[in-house]
Amino acid sequence: MLLIDEIRVENLIEGCVTDNRNPIISFSMSSDCREVALESATVKIDDWEKQVNHQLNIVYDGDLEPFTIYEIEIYAKSNTGETAYRRTSFQTGRLDTPWEAKWITDKSYLPEKGCSPIPMTFRKNLHLSQKIKKAYVTATAMGIYELEINGKQITKEYFAPGFTSYKHTLQYNYYDVTEYMEEENIIFAVVAGGWAVGRFTYESKSQITTERQAFLMELFVEYEDGTKDTILTDNTWQVTLDGNYRFGDFYDGEVYDATINVKDVCWKTAEETSLSFAPEITVQYGCPVTTHEYMRPVTIFTAPSGERIYDFGQNFAGVVCLEIEGKEGQEIIVRHAEVLNENELFVKTLRTAKATLTYICKEGCQNYSPKFTYMGFRYIGIRGIEEEKIKVSAYAIYSNIEEIGSFTCSNPLLNQLQRNILWSGKSNFVDIPTDCPQRDERQGWTGDISIFASTACYNFDLSRFLDKWLLDVKYEQGKGGGIPLVVPKHGNGAPTVSTACWGDCCILVPWALYLSNGDKRILQTQYPVMKRFLNSVKFWAGLGSIGKRVHIWKWLFQFGDWCAPDGYITDWMKKGKWIATAYYANSCNIMSQIAEILGEQEDSTYYKGVFQEICDAYIEVFTDKKGQLKREFQTGYVLPIAFDMVDKNTKRAMGNNLVRLIKENQWHLNTGFPATSFILFALCDTGRIEEAYRLLLQDTYPSWLYEVKCGATTFWERWDAMRPDGTINVGKLNKKDSDSDPGMCSYNHYAYGAVGDFFYRRILGVEAVTGGYENFQIKPVLGGGLKFAEGSHRTPFGTIWVSWKVEQENFSLEFEVPVSTRCTVVLPSGKKENFGSGRYVLSEHYVEPA
């Protein structure tokens, strides 16, 4: 039977509210027959109708009215003559409805510089005399807000309206509030500093977007008799700084005083204000940050200092939930940490982030969970209340992204590594892709997501999450074509110039996203950004150079082999020109493919040519032309092999040299951020499969499994975040720094988790050949003594599932191909076969290498 399993509108299965006048619709199907593909489909929205013969990215080009629900109906017919039907709906937001409400604030309040402001509470009493048919709100803020109507929480997410490049774009939220409205109503909105006003960046900047918080809201009421009302923020609202939330800050935490009765505090008239810039205000187009896994402590003990420590057994980004039996005025202090040292919370690596909650109790039973902060932690320490008077749990919070991948195999340590990849991903997908969730940073470092994007897209549906962030990359690209090191740049003081790997995010991230979801729009929107970026790289590479050296990219600034196990920051940076040149080549190569997909044939040929010239320059300048680097280091071999920059023979020679360096390093890697995700590919693809597995399964420092054996539940920023001698690293950046200087060492950084790409693309062997996996391959690479591996990846067409096992000189592979896709299977013997949709089992004789 043919079924339409899912219909997505703007990449959302349900609850889509959009301001896009041409939303896209995609659907996936399943069938119990083989070789099934869509023949044709009719997509209907009211009297708009479209005949299509494809399932992804069907553009609606009919009319749209604001605040209207649209029904979508899809009738599909397959090549086997079966038919299927499904319907869904989506809704429009304001579209172009102008805002009539005024921004409101307390103009007399000037927050202290370098600190987050006191949260502002706004209120409005509202009498509605007629019967209500429908009521809905659109709201946004400068800062982050929580909305409550008649004591009911309206905002379901954290940190609304989210983090964007505010001067260009600001999201608003849409909430249907019909069920909350009564005759007499009281509306409260608390606005904390968040990103726009609060302390941000390790330089403790504050008021980066505006001087103080402000709130903007329109409440639309439709009465049963057909009349309408709009309630707007204006100077009929009141404001106070004396509410329950005394403080809210991403790094430092929250202070909440439950003894305050907000009705009794001193209120004054809210003042109307305006922004000094004009962002486009669009209904939320990213993913809301919401609660996910419910976490309970696995151990509770008292530290030598007397603080009671709760261990959640997992490092994650989230908020604690406290159920308290308290006394009026009793003060409870909660501190957070990722690691312990001598049974105490170790907080030095948080640098200036205080990561502390202070809760002042009212009398009796009460619940508390922070709203205007989140922490990256595994442990918390509590003071101020006896153990039996408080029940502690927590929620992981992150953007509402779906988990669409899975991987398990016969090696439990690799399975733990996969769990760590998922947790580092989740912890760092909090509205924007962050570097880490705990210290005074949590910024959108572009290099980290450049490296992790491909792995991330195997594991999560990041369509909306990355689309939103990439829009900010576009807005914030420098005039000269550079990409900020951090997006949104938001207070980051570094000049916007092109930097390898970090800047390449404008090509690598959309490319990973396109391969996973097949949505060409991201390539189209980013195309001019990519071109400008590569032009700027061309300029910097060529500056002051002649001959082939015009393609060697060194200037202006490079991170180099960032966080490599050997040496310090200056040692990493010294490797800049090799890494930058290889990344430049790789981006030109990808760009040539992107240009072709977009029908830009001339560009495609041009970038292919530049790619070739850069490859030649790398060989000429850095090697003896026979596959040996003049200055040898692992990354210097990994990148040209993995980026396909050299011919077959040179590749093989480079592979041999790489293996020699690894051997000389006692079978350890020695790579930083830009190459670690590629080292196993470089080995595998030069025929050194055994060595690739040996490196993957290495469990002494530095290695992935070393971290696992140390008990890591997420990925570390530094290979030696915990040293083999059991001491904790504070992450010195320079040799001369003292061990007690807070450096750079997080326990939840996803960059090295990019090894997950190898799990999917080589161990399972699943790789997209065309965007959205319409064509893909399954080519498992066996080794490392693995007896089986199983995994899945949900594509926009449906789920690819792969399971292989090795048993008594036999290799068997079971797999499932989604409807309307085609797959090429390559068995370990090299035997190749093509398949349409369906479930299959193949097997062949296989002898494990001794």
Amino acid at 104: I
CB 586, CB 643: distance < 8 Å: yes
Handedness of CA 269, 275, 278, 281 (dihedral sign): negative
**Least distance from C-beta 483 to ligand BGC, angstroms?**
13
Tokens found for residue 775: 């064509």
Q: Which is nearer to ligand BGC, 349 or 477 (CB)?
A: 349
Q: Which is nearer to ligand BGC, 571 or 632 (CB)?
A: 571
Question: How would DSSP label each residue in 371-440?
Answer: SS--EEEEEEEEESS-GGGEEEEEEEEEE-PEE-EEEEES-HHHHHHHHHHHHHHHHHEESEE-S-SSSS
Choose one: 281-289, 434-442, 518-526, 802-810; the region binding ligand BGC (CB under 6 A). 434-442
The structure tokens 């009671």 sit at 308
Alpha-carbon distance 652 to 655, whole Å? 5
**Least distance from C-beta 559 to ligand BGC, angstroms?**
6
CB 445, CB 502: distance < 8 Å: yes
**Least distance from C-beta 624 to ligand BGC, angstroms?**
33
Q: Which is nearer to ligand BGC, 252 or 435 (CB)?
A: 435
Residue of 200, 445, 460, 759 that binds ligand BGC (CB under 6 A): 445
Show the beta-strand stretches assigned E in 250-286. Answer: 253-257, 268-269, 271-273, 280-283
**Least distance from C-beta 501 to ligand BGC, angstroms?**
9
SS3 176: strand
CB 584, CB 615: distance < 8 Å: no
- Does 451 participate in binding ligand BGC (rule CB under 6 A)? no
Determine how β-strand 169-176 pairs with β-strand 280-283: parallel
Rg (CA), the chain: 28
Q: Which is nearer to ligand BGC, 121 or 424 (CB)?
A: 424
**Least distance from C-beta 484 to ligand BGC, angstroms?**
12
Choose one: 255-263, 410-418, 433-441, 623-631; the region binding ligand BGC (CB under 6 A). 433-441
- Give the contact letters, 259-288, x = binds to ligand BGC (CB under 6 A), - = no: ------------------------------
Q: Which is nearer to ligand BGC, 441 or 707 (CB)?
A: 441
- Does 441 participate in binding ligand BGC (rule CB under 6 A)? yes
**Least distance from C-beta 144 to ligand BGC, angstroms?**
22
Q: Which is nearer to ligand BGC, 101 or 436 (CB)?
A: 436
Q: Which is nearer to ligand BGC, 20 or 746 (CB)?
A: 746
Alpha-carbon distance 640 to 586, whole Å? 9
Residue of 93, 425, 447, 756 that binds ligand BGC (CB under 6 A): 447
**Least distance from C-beta 746 to ligand BGC, angstroms?**
6
- Does 436 participate in binding ligand BGC (rule CB under 6 A)? yes
**Least distance from C-beta 749 to ligand BGC, angstroms?**
6
Alpha-carbon distance 382 to 309, whole Å? 7
Amino acid at 691: E
- H or E segment at 662? helix 648-664
Q: Which is nearer to ligand BGC, 2 or 350 (CB)?
A: 350
**Least distance from C-beta 671 to ligand BGC, angstroms?**
15
Residues 342-381 that bind ligand BGC (CB under 6 A): none
Choose one: 355-363, 444-452, 514-522, 545-553; the region binding ligand BGC (CB under 6 A). 444-452
- Give the contact letters, 779-818, x = binds to ligand BGC (CB under 6 A), - = no: ----------------------------------------
Q: Which is nearer to ligand BGC, 425 or 772 (CB)?
A: 425
CB 349, CB 338: distance < 8 Å: yes
Q: Which is nearer to ligand BGC, 436 or 537 (CB)?
A: 436
CB 503, CB 533: distance < 8 Å: yes
Q: Which is nearer to ligand BGC, 309 or 569 (CB)?
A: 569
Alpha-carbon distance 662 to 837, whole Å? 42
86 has which bridge partners?
74
- Does 537 participate in binding ligand BGC (rule CB under 6 A)? no
433 has which bridge partners?
429
Which residue from 372, 151, 354 is spatially nearest to 249, judged by alpha carbons?
A: 372
Alpha-carbon distance 608 to 600, whole Å? 12
Q: Which is nearer to ligand BGC, 559 or 815 (CB)?
A: 559
- Does 440 participate in binding ligand BGC (rule CB under 6 A)? no
Q: Which is nearer to ligand BGC, 218 or 435 (CB)?
A: 435
- Give the contact letters, 516-535, x = binds to ligand BGC (CB under 6 A), - = no: --------------------
**Least distance from C-beta 458 to ligand BGC, angstroms?**
21
CB atoms within 10 A of CB 412: 10
Alpha-carbon distance 324 to 759, whole Å? 44
- Does 435 participate in binding ligand BGC (rule CB under 6 A)? yes
Please name the residues in contact with 17: beta carbons below 8 A apart, sequence gap of 6 or more: 90, 91, 92, 93, 174, 283, 284
CA 505, 565, 672: angle at the middle one, nearest 5? Answer: 15
**Least distance from C-beta 436 to ligand BGC, angstroms?**
6
Q: Which is nearer to ligand BGC, 722 or 744 (CB)?
A: 744
Alpha-carbon distance 27 to 204, whole Å? 46
Q: Angle 505-517/463-476 helices, nearest 10 degrees?
A: 150
Q: Which is nearer to ligand BGC, 372 or 716 (CB)?
A: 716
**Least distance from C-beta 485 to ligand BGC, angstroms?**
6
- Give the contact letters, 541-580, x = binds to ligand BGC (CB under 6 A), - = no: ------------------x---------------------
CB atoms within 10 A of CB 501: 27
Alpha-carbon distance 259 to 363, whole Å? 8
Handedness of CA 163, 280, 26, 530 (dihedral sign): negative
Choose one: 217-225, 408-416, 435-443, 610-618; the region binding ligand BGC (CB under 6 A). 435-443
Choose one: 233-241, 285-293, 445-453, 503-511; the region binding ligand BGC (CB under 6 A). 445-453
Tokens found for residue 498: 């092109």
Handedness of CA 460, 3, 34, 408 (dihedral sign): positive
Please name the residues in contact with 533: beta carbons below 8 A apart, sequence gap of 6 or more: 477, 481, 482, 483, 498, 503, 504, 506, 507, 587
**Least distance from C-beta 576 to ligand BGC, angstroms?**
13
Q: Which is nearer to ligand BGC, 561 or 685 (CB)?
A: 561
Choose one: 126-134, 203-211, 440-448, 692-700; the region binding ligand BGC (CB under 6 A). 440-448
Q: Which is nearer to ligand BGC, 445 or 815 (CB)?
A: 445
**Least distance from C-beta 441 to ligand BGC, angstroms?**
5
Residue of 249, 448, 472, 691 that binds ligand BGC (CB under 6 A): 448
Show the beta-strand stretches assigned E in 150-225. Answer: 152-153, 169-176, 184-192, 214-223
Residues touching ligand BGC: how many (CB under 6 A)? 9
Q: Which is nearer to ligand BGC, 441 or 685 (CB)?
A: 441
- Give the contact letters, 744-773, x = binds to ligand BGC (CB under 6 A), - = no: x----x------------------------
**Least distance from C-beta 445 to ligand BGC, angstroms?**
4
Residues of this chain that interact with ligand BGC (CB under 6 A) are: 435-436, 441, 445, 447-448, 559, 744, 749
